[in-house]
Amino acid sequence: MKIVASAPGKVTLYGEHAVVYKKPAIVASIDRRVTVSCEIRDDDRITIRALNLEIPGVILTYNKDGEIVLETDYGRVLSAVSYIREAISLVSEYTNEFKGADIKIESSMPVGAGLGTSAAVSVATIAAYSKAVGHELSKKEIASLAWETEKRVQGLASPMDSTISTFGGIIYIQPGENSFTHESLDIPVEMPLIIGYVKRKYKTKDMVALVKKYKEKYPEIIDPVIELIGKLVVEAKTALLKGDLIVAGELMNINHGLLDTLGVSSKELNDLVYVTRAFGAYGSKLSGAGGGGAMIALASKERLKEVSTAISISNGLPIDTVIGGPGLLYV
Ligand code: PMV
C-alpha cells in the first residue's frame, strides 16, 4: 500500500530567530508544498528518491541498522535526506516498529530557501511512514516528532516550522521550556504578500549558530534585540487581528532592521527589502533563517504586481503565494 502525505511550506511574518529563544512568532502556511510518498518493502531497506529535484534514481539506500547500501553525492548534499532519515528513525523509536520502505519526495518550492521545506519534509515523512507501518498518529504527535527531527538535525530549532506545517493557517506561537502553545489567528482582511527569493549559501543551522555566537559574545546588546523582536510580535498580533495592514507593514520593517542587527540579512536580501518598499509595499522583511533565501513584502492588492516586478529587476525571483491554507493532508 502506498501512503502519500503533503505538507506546506511557510513564511515567517514576524519573530524568526528570537523564537529559538522562546519569544513568540507569527507564521503562515503558503500554497507551496512538499509531498512524500511511502511504500512498504518486503526487506529492511529504506530507499530515498527525489522526484522533481533533477536527481535521477535512488539517492540513498540504507538498512535497519543504518548501514548505507548506496549513496550518491546528492545524498550528502541534499539536506532533505538527513531530515527524512531522522524522521524515519524517530517514528521507529516512537512506534517500536521498523519496516523497509521506498520513500519519494517532491517539492514545489526551492529546498533550503527559508520557506520551511525541512519542516515540511519532516512532517510529510513522519505522517506517511507512520501510517504506512500501521500507526496513524495525531497531528499533535506528528508536530512533536517533526520538532524533534529538526532539533536532532539542526542542533537548535524552535517548534515554529513544524507546527505551521502540520496545522496550517496563520498562527501565533509561544514556545515554552519543552512545549509550546499556538493559536490560530483569524485576520479580518486579505493579506496580499509576495515572496522574493535569492540563492542561499548557508543552512538554517549555520544562521542559528551565528546568532548564538553573537548572543554569547555581546549578550548586553543582542539579548535586548531578541526581547524587542518578542515585543513587536505581540504588537503585530494586535494589528493583524484589527486588519491594520499599515501597522503590520511598519512592524515588518522594524523586524527586518532587528534581524539585520542580528547579522542574518545579506546585501541581496536587503536590496529586495528596500526596493519593494520603494515600489509601495506596506512593509518588507527577510523571512526564515536569512543569509540569502526568502524575503516577504506586504502590499495592497493593487500594488502587488509592481512590487513583484521590483523583485525581478533587483535579481530576485518573485514567488506568488496565498497564505493561510491547510496544513498536513493525506492525498
Ligand atoms: O529558514 P527556515 O525556513 O529554516 O526557518 C528558520 C527559522 C528560525 O527561526 C531561524 C529557526 C527556528 O528553528 O525557528
What confidence tens digit (pLDDT) does each residue in 1-17 have?
899 999 999 999 999 99
Residue type at 175? P
The rounded Å distance from CA 16 to ligand 1 centre is 6
Condensed to tens digits (0 to 9), the pLDDT of residues 87-136 reads 999 999 999 999 999 999 998 887 767 799 889 999 999 999 999 999 99
- Does residue 161 have an active-site annotation? yes
**pLDDT band for position 75 (cuts 50, 70, 90):** low
Q: What is the pLDDT of residue 56?
A: 66
What average pLDDT does this structure show over 160-187? 94
Cα distance between residue 269 and residue 281, in whole Å: 15
Give the pocket of ligand 1 (CB within 6 Å).
16-17, 19-20, 114-116, 118, 157-158, 160-161, 204, 208, 288-289, 293
What is 193-320's CATH number?
3.30.70.890
> Any idea where the domains of the chain sit in the sequence?
2-185+326-330, 193-320
What average pLDDT does this structure show over 217-221? 98
Per DSSP, 288 falls in state S
Helices (H), 8-159: 73-77, 79-95, 117-132, 139-154
In ligand 1, which atom is closest to the CA atom of 17? 9
Q: Identify the residue whose C-alpha is closest to ligand 1 atom 1.
A: 114
Residue 76 has pLDDT above 90, yes or no: no
Query: 27 pairs with which residues across the strands?
Result: 12, 171
Pick the more confident residue, 240 or 180. Answer: 240
**pLDDT band for position 41 (cuts 50, 70, 90):** very high
Q: What is the pLDDT of residue 55?
A: 66
> To which H or E segment does residue 51 belong?
none
Per DSSP, 21 falls in state G
Which residues, 6 or more positions from 97, have their beta carbon under 8 angstroms from its beta carbon? 91, 133, 134, 135
What is 2-185+326-330's CATH number?
3.30.230.10
Helix (H, G, I), strand (E, B) or coil at 252: helix
Mean pLDDT of the chain: 93
Question: Between 204-217 and 219-242, two packed helices, what is the crossing angle to 10 degrees?
Answer: 120
Closest to 186 measured CA to CA, from 240, 223, 121: 240
